[in-house]
Amino acid sequence: MTAAATAPATPGLSTPGLSAPGLAVDWPALVTETAARTTALLERAADADWSARPAGSDWTCRATLDHLALGVLGYAGLLTARPTDRYITLFGSLDPAAPVPHCLEGLRIAAALLAGTVRDAASDARAWHPWGHSDGPGFAAMGTVELLLHGWDLAGALGVGGPLPDELAAPAVARLFPAAPAGHAPGETLLWCTGRAALPDRPRQAAGAWSWDGRVR
């Protein structure tokens, strides 16, 4: 996400990741917390020019937001239908005529549906994904990464950018990027893993040269 790090955490959430080493991650809570903080940040830019394009993207900010909602809802759909060799046929989108705050509400709805699906899924539930067939925690981590990264992309383009929140990025990095370099803040590591930034000891990865590993380990 981005300066979402400056948004207050949701009361009652036991923040996963670095602050709770060795403890199990509450994946549904991570998804909804990430969505809440992402949308709170983007609401600060509701009156900005959403026809602007995030750095390196062919999409406008408004199109990026629609893609984000579709992706998060799609992970809920995959974990519900559990296909073994394809994407699902349900595609959800935001109302193109709706104002930005209402669209951000739609993003929170998509996140809540993913969180509920993850919460209800059996531990042996598996579903197809091109970057590794995955389970409930895996799809929750994917949704978290989508929210963090596209939130970061949007915030930067809309003038409210900042660092990714380490406490939200850490569980997602650990789950989806097992070969991530050590010794860096989780937010910075996630940006490097997804080709968005360099690290002090590593150049930025080329666009399209990265992927995550959603397989169950």
Residue range 167-202, pLDDT digits in tens: 999 999 999 999 999 999 999 999 999 999 999 999
Give the pLDDT score at 23: 64
Lowest-confidence pick of 18-27, 142-151, 190-199: 18-27
Could you tell me if 187 and 169 are in contact, meaning their C-beta atoms sit under 8 angstroms apart?
Answer: yes
pLDDT surpasses 80 at 2: no
Domain extent listing, the chain: 25-193
| Token pair belonging to 134 | 């995955």
Q: Which CATH class is domain 25-193?
A: mainly alpha
Q: What residues contact residue 142 under an 8 Å CB cut-off, 6+ apart?
A: 75, 129, 134, 176, 212, 214
DSSP codes joined into one string, 46-112: TTS-TTS--TT-SS-HHHHHHHHHHHHHHHHHHHHH--SSS--S------TTS-HHHHHHHHHHHHH
| pLDDT, tens digit, 9 for 90 and up, residues 72-99 | 999 999 999 999 999 999 888 999 999 9
pLDDT value at 7 more than 60: no
Amino acid identity of residue 3, one-letter, is A
Q: Is residue 10 predicted with pLDDT exceeding 60?
A: no
Phi and psi, residue 48, nearest 5°: -75, 180
Residue environment code for 147-160, b if the CB has 16+ CB neighbours within 10 A, otherwise e: bbbbbbbbbbbbeb
Structure tokens at 104: 């951000």
User: Comparing 8-12, 117-121, 169-173, which segment has the lowest mean pLDDT?
Assistant: 8-12
**pTM score, whole prediction:** 0.90
Which amino acid is located at 141 in the chain?
A: A
Q: pLDDT band for 12, please (50, 70, 90 cuts).
A: very low
